[in-house]
Amino acid sequence: MDRVILHSDLNNFYASVECLYRPEIRDKPVAVGGDQEARHGIILAKNYLAKATGIQTGEVIWQAKRKCPALVIVPPNYPLYMRYSHLARDIYADYTDQIEPFGLDEAWLDVTGSCPLFGTGTHIADEIRERIKAEMGVTASVGVSYNKIFAKLGSDLKKPDATTVITPENYKHVVWPLPAGDLLYVGRSTNKKLASCGIIGIGDIAKASPAYLRLRLGKWGEVLWSFANGYDSSPVARAGEESVIKSIGNSITTPRDLETEEDVRMILYILSESVAARLRDHGFKCRTVHIHIRDKDLFTFGAQGKLAQPSAISSEIAEKALAIFQANYTWEKPIRSIGVRGGDLVTAASNIQISLFDDENRRIKQENLEVTLDSLRSRFGHHSVQRAILLQDNDLMSINPKDDHVIHPIAYFKEGRLP
């Protein structure tokens, strides 16, 4: 028997919640945007009136204002969005305990075992939409299918407040004509690579040779081929289960452009301390360090490298991040934002091969010292203890990425979104 998978997507979530709480702006073009003064001035979400003017998520606020001078910008209120996200999941939980969040506003539900109680997948989807509208005051689009990828596609096809069904019988007619970029995890770079091969639509991916796609895209080529053909069999996580954390990271748009390697070193240490502290909070060590760089013209790149040993020591993570940066960045432009992520995680209690060449006693002392620093910062504030390197710059030393930034959910795959 085919599975019955739903994907629920709360429409224009941030903007919809803001309009719900601010009746005076409901009939105006509204966008939720970052703090322009803190250089986080991009559009995070927008309502349909703003979308109709051509405003896109991710563009800078001054560009959005050019398209729509009457645009109302409101700051994000993440605690409020979290509350509404939990309200939606409470509704989902009335139908199944297999609920897998995909961000604050989206979730997959496996209702295969619930259909004998509540009716068909389409009926359950419609009922969930009506409850969200009546109980929460916002709307949702729901995709119904036999796998997670097509359920996600279905929720994207009709907005707002709609149910779309994709079945083994109709997916070639519904899914294959769509652009390749509509398939989950086909990012801009991958889309360009596909287009250069004459692969424009999802149907083109499905009909291509898996070996050819692997040649052009690596292992992801075969993954995308299986997605396009409806062969996704990944399960929906069960509510209450701790999903396996694949990586822990943090990123920041800096108060000013970074123009020297010393600037970058300071930020990498700030971010690495945050990453290391979170690794310790969750009882992990990382074996791989990833960095993400965006320059002042918003060109981005990422790179990664292996650590000699699994670590939750901030200095080891920072020095590895710096080495990766030095090997990959040519300083054509100043830098606007940086991210650091620890991946390939192991539990801190795992048996780890001791190196013959490193001073293990020194590493143990360093780990214990950082645990002590965690305790001091928890009690007296993040800035109660700082590295001397940060005292060189008042703007940068004030950054507290561990407390000031939202941790976003883990993506579908181990390494997150495809390039």
Average pLDDT, 10 consecutive residues per value, the chain (419 residues):
93 94 94 65 87 88 91 89 92 94 89 95 98 97 97 95 97 97 85 93 96 89 94 79 65 81 90 87 86 84 90 91 92 88 78 56 77 71 63 56 42 40
- Matching residue, tokens 């790149």: 301
- Matching residue, tokens 């209702």: 111
Round to whole Å and give the CA distance between 385 and 377: 7
Round to whole Å and give the CA distance between 156 and 186: 14
Which two structure tokens, joined as six digits, stand for 147?
Answer: 């796998």
Round to whole Å and give the CA distance between 414 and 244: 10
Strand order in the sheet with 72-74: 43-46, 30-33, 72-74
259 labelled catalytic = no
Residue in 18, 59, 100, 106 annotated catalytic? 106
At 419 the three-state DSSP class reads: coil
Give me the helix-helix angle, 210-217 and 219-228, nearest 10°. Answer: 140
Q: What pLDDT does 182 receive?
A: 94
Name the nearest CA neighbour of 139 among 163, 121, 114: 163
Q: What pLDDT does 89 receive?
A: 93
- Beta-ladder partners of 107: 8, 101
Query: Angle 329-331-333 (CA atoms, 0-180°, nearest 5)?
Result: 120
Q: What pLDDT does 12 receive?
A: 92
Round to whole Å and give the CA distance between 299 and 372: 39
Task: Give per-residue pLDDT as tens, 192-237.
Answer: 999 999 999 999 999 999 999 999 988 889 999 999 999 988 898 7
Which two structure tokens, joined as six digits, stand for 375?
Answer: 């305790």
Which two structure tokens, joined as six digits, stand for 179?
Answer: 């652009």
What is each CA distance from 46 to 58, 104, 174, 343, 393, in whole angstroms?
A: 10, 15, 27, 32, 36
Domains with residue ranges and CATH for the chain:
1-167 (3.30.70.270), 176-228 (1.10.150.20), 247-404 (3.30.1490.100)
Considering the entire predicted model, what is its pTM?
Answer: 0.65
Round to whole Å and give the CA distance between 72 and 205: 40
- Beta-ladder partners of 5: 110, 145
Looking at this protein, which amino acid is placed at residue 132? I
Round to whole Å and give the CA distance between 226 and 215: 15
Q: What pLDDT does 394 receive?
A: 56
Q: What pLDDT does 33 receive?
A: 84
Classify the phi-psi angles of 303: left when phi > 0, otherwise alpha if psi is within -120 to 50, otherwise beta: beta
Q: What pLDDT does 243 receive?
A: 45
> Which DSSP category does 355 fall into?
P
Which two structure tokens, joined as six digits, stand for 417?
Answer: 């979104």
> Which DSSP category does 181 fall into?
G
